[in-house]
Amino acid sequence: MIAPGRAKPKPTPETKHFWDGAKQGKLLLQRCGDTGKAYFPPRPFSPYTGTRNVSVFEASGKATLYSYVIHHRPVPGFTPPYAIAVVELEEGPRLMTNIVDCPQTPEALVLDMPLEVTFEAMDEEISLPFFRPAKGGK
Amino acid sequence: MLGRGEIAIVGAAETTQLGAIPGMSQIMLHADAALNAMADCGLKPKDIDGVACVGPMMPQQIAHYLGITPKWVDGTGVGGCSFMLHVRHAAAAIHAGYANTILITHGESGKSRINATPRPAEPESLNGQFEMPFGPFGPPTLFPIPVLRYMKTHGVTHEDLATVAVVQREWAAKNPRAMFRDPITVDDVLSSRMIAYPFRILQCCLVTDGGGALILTRSDRAKDFPTKPVYILGTGESVETTMVSQMEDFNYSRAFRVAGPTAIEAAGIDRKDVDHMMIYDAFAHLPLYGLEDLGFCKPGEAAGFIREGNTRPGGKLPLNTTGGGLSYTHTGMYGMFALQESVRQMRGTAPAQVPGAKVSVCHGVGGMFSASGTIVFSNERP
């Protein structure tokens, strides 16, 4: 269980499927019916063409480390220093996350390192997608 | 179409004090700057017929507080570059005949927090759902997130990013109103307290109280004022995303790439004609992004451009000549202070005056990388 104190997301009608998926350990993206391209964050239309013809699908969970900062000041729910990362999913979209099972140091957090998704529960309603170094390394 | 130089800034001033101003609430910081700007050009509140300031319900608060009856208002609030957008919108409004004399105000009790704008958590917003749970805590944790990617792409070093702060401190030393004026070295920067790796405290902006105000009118009226008119040659604006994680690319700002070139093209200038430049520097990477995205350096070359001394006193492109948000002042929305310095440089009244400067580019960023506005000024009417 995640330490208390973090900002807790409150799902909306347009994002509920994402958080329902996260609760079941699934990273759900959406795909544009016109271009076939994946997108994030969730919305019931394509940011590429405006079409409402979109579908939800489960992402592979594979990603690479795109960029990050390591915060050194106290924040409720976190023990500094901790990294706030942006990862690039295999399907294209990027998302903000934390990197777990990994020292929070510049030496351990190498850009473009392979990562995989893992979920941790905040409570019964919300689980957050985190990323950890991919098994088997590079 | 708005003509080049058709609109001018005739009044400009900052608050009487900058830094820690525990004796004024936020609305009085607006008013103090506005009264100073009106005094600068000999106007009274009854002479003003348009008001712009940041935020919902603010134009009515500012207009009423100052005793102004506007026939045009703008409450655009896109972060620290909102004032660049106000200048752009005001110039268009005067051109259209919606108002004759427009006052733009900024006041922010960023340090003392007296009647300061609250920043409520918004757990249903996209930022609240998809960024805030992962531990961002204010701009130092969000604004620098792209920089490691930029460094890797271009081979930019920690020393390069420290040099930005060192060079700007050289300018701050020449500005009596700058908060930090003592010289610093690259080693000083790289041994200062870590805030959010890769940035240390000397690569992060100040947090101050203060404000500023501008008064715009038609250039053909400018001779009626005691001040030297500063002409608006070109303007640009854009927005991208409030979610830093969702920027198109971490190596550049799409909003910069729209706003900056739009302004420069409208101004009809060559980049080599630019004598003075302000690039909103909330953090040390922003001057690099600005120089590249506005086309003053090729991608990846801005760090070398600064390292070689081009932006320091005596260099060919004097940049952030107050010391910027890193050393001069930063209330939370610094764009107004960048505009004030461009106006001073064009009037020839800046403490660190660039001799003979005729063209100034003033580039702002807002809400992390979410918004941008650019103004090109000159003291000569085309």
- Unique residue bearing structure tokens 């080693």: B187
Q: What is the mean pLDDT of each run of 10 residues along chain B (382 residues)?
A: 94 98 97 98 98 95 98 98 98 98 97 91 96 96 98 98 98 98 98 98 97 98 95 98 98 98 98 98 98 98 98 98 98 97 98 98 97 98 94
Name the nearest CA neighbour of A74 among A5, A121, A1, A25: A5
* Per-residue pLDDT tens digits for A12-37: 999 999 999 999 999 999 999 999 99
The reported pLDDT for the residue numbered B117 is 86
* Per-residue pLDDT tens digits for A85-131: 999 999 999 999 999 999 999 999 999 999 999 999 999 999 999 99
Contact B137 A75 (CB under 8 A): yes
Asked, for residue B366, whether it belongs to a domain, the answer is yes
Interchain CB contacts (distance < 8 Å): A and B: 109
Name the nearest CA neighbour of B325 among B141, B35, B110, B10: B110
Q: Which residues of B touch A67 (CB under 8 A)?
A: 145-149, 250
Q: From CA B25, how far away is CA B35, in angstroms rounded?
A: 15
Asked, for residue B87, whether it belongs to a domain, the answer is yes
The minimum CA-CA distance between A136 and chain B, rounded to whole Å, is: 24
The reported pLDDT for the residue numbered A136 is 64
Q: Find the CATH number of the domain harbouring B214.
A: 3.40.47.10
The reported pLDDT for the residue numbered B57 is 94
Nearest CA in chain B to A4: B133
Res A137 pLDDT > 90 = no
Q: From CA B247, how far away is CA B335, in angstroms rounded?
A: 21
Q: Which runs of consecutive H residues, i.e. helices, occur in chain B?
A: 26-41, 58-66, 82-96, 126-130, 139-142, 147-154, 158-172, 186-190, 254-267, 286-293, 302-307, 324-327, 335-347
Asked, for residue B276, whether it belongs to a domain, the answer is yes
Across chain B, mean pLDDT equals 97
Asked, for residue B195, whether it belongs to a domain, the answer is no
Query: What residues does A69 pair with on adjacent strands?
Result: A84
The reported pLDDT for the residue numbered B118 is 86
Contact B148 A81 (CB under 8 A): no
Across chain A, mean pLDDT equals 96
Q: Which residues of A touch B149 (CB under 8 A)?
A: 66-67, 111
Contact A66 B131 (CB under 8 A): no
Asked, for residue B343, whether it belongs to a domain, the answer is yes
Whether this model's ipTM surpasses 0.95 comes out as: yes
The minimum CA-CA distance between B142 and chain A, rounded to whole Å, is: 8
Asked, for residue B135, whether it belongs to a domain, the answer is no
Give B 40-69 residues with CB within 8 A of chain A. Answer: none
Please state the domain count of chain B: 1
CB-closest option in B148, B196, B250 to A71: B196
* Per-residue pLDDT tens digits for B196-250: 999 999 999 999 999 999 999 999 999 899 999 999 999 999 999 999 999 999 9
Asked, for residue B65, whether it belongs to a domain, the answer is yes
B152 touches chain A (CB under 8 A): yes
The reported pLDDT for the residue numbered B285 is 98
Asked, for residue B146, whether it belongs to a domain, the answer is no
Question: Per-residue confidence at A138, pLDDT binned at 50, 70, 90?
Answer: very low
Residue ranges per structural domain of chain A: 16-133
* Per-residue pLDDT tens digits for B277-302: 999 999 999 999 999 999 999 999 99
Note down the domain range covering B301. Answer: 7-115+206-378
